């Protein structure tokens, strides 16, 4: 699939297997999300632009480099919050905005309830964070919001995606890159990814029995 970048790394396979396991505790689930998010963020930032920068070391002045682009991080509430901290560890100067969406269980369509993107001065690169890309509806809505803001380079970070959702997403946004730890083949009748890992938000925040 074009513009889909799946992690091919032993650590990704290891941490993803723990994440999928139904016996994994919420605390460990959050740790696995963070570890995979870090791997995804490293992969998703490997072509960011740099500009020369003078650096004074303890011994001499040297030619260094620094990031040349303004970065925005946009987690989709609530599950996207679990991916934010690892990304900020790599990009501590990135700006963070939140988009609130939930899935209507009757229609499987996203419902937006919160959006605080500014009206101008768009960032150069925007990262949309959501651990699951199932139907792609919520992520499509988030990408559409970033495009209305004026962001030209939009990248999606998801831990697991479903092939049908990715294909549907790229019908609308073929230019947007998706970075994912794994692409599962199918959605079930309830639009959940199979084999997947269940509801990421419920498992992350220990609300699966509410």
Q: Is 47 a catalytic residue?
A: no
Output phi, psi for 117, to 5 deg. Answer: -70, 140
| Catalytic position from the list 24, 103, 124, 163 | 103
Q: What is the DSSP string of 147-182?
A: HHHT-SEEEEEEEEEEHHHHHHHHHH-TT-EEEEEE
Q: Is 153 a catalytic residue?
A: no
- C-alpha span between 33 and 152 (Å, rounded): 27
| Catalytic position from the list 45, 78, 124, 202 | 202
Q: Is 103 a catalytic residue?
A: yes
Please check whether residue 97 is in contact with residue 74, taking contact to mean a CB–CB distance below 8 angstroms. Answer: yes
- Phi-psi sector, 106: left (phi>0), alpha (psi -120 to 50), beta: alpha
Residue 190 DSSP symbol = T
Q: Is 107 a catalytic residue?
A: yes
**CB 180: neighbour CB atoms within 10 A?**
25
| Catalytic position from the list 21, 104, 107, 172 | 107
Instruction: Using the structure block, give the residue that is written with the tokens 């970065």.
Output: 71
Residues forming the active site: 103, 107, 199, 202
């Amino acid at each position: 699939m074009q513009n889909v970048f799946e992690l091919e790394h032993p650590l990704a396979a290891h941490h993803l297997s723990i994440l999928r396991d139904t016996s994994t505790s919420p605390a460990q689930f959050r740790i696995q999300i963070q570890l995979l998010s870090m791997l995804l963020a490293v992969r998703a930032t490997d072509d960011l632009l740099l500009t020369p920068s003078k650096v004074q070391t303890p011994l001499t002045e040297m030619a260094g480099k620094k990031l040349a682009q303004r970065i925005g991080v946009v987690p989709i509430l609530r599950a996207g919050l679990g991916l934010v901290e690892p990304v900020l560890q790599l990009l501590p100067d990135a700006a963070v905005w939140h988009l609130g969406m939930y899935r209507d269980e009757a229609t499987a369509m996203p419902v937006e309830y919160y959006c605080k993107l500014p009206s101008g001065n768009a960032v150069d690169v925007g990262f949309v964070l959501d651990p699951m890309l199932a139907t792609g509806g919520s992520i499509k809505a988030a990408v559409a919001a970033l495009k209305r803001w004026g962001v030209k380079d939009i990248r999606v970070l998801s831990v697991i995606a479903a092939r049908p959702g990715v294909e549907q997403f790229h019908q609308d946004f073929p230019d947007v890159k998706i970075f994912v730890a794994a692409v599962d083949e199918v959605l079930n009748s309830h639009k959940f990814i199979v084999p997947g890992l269940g509801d990421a938000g419920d498992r992350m925040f220990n609300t699966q029995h509410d």
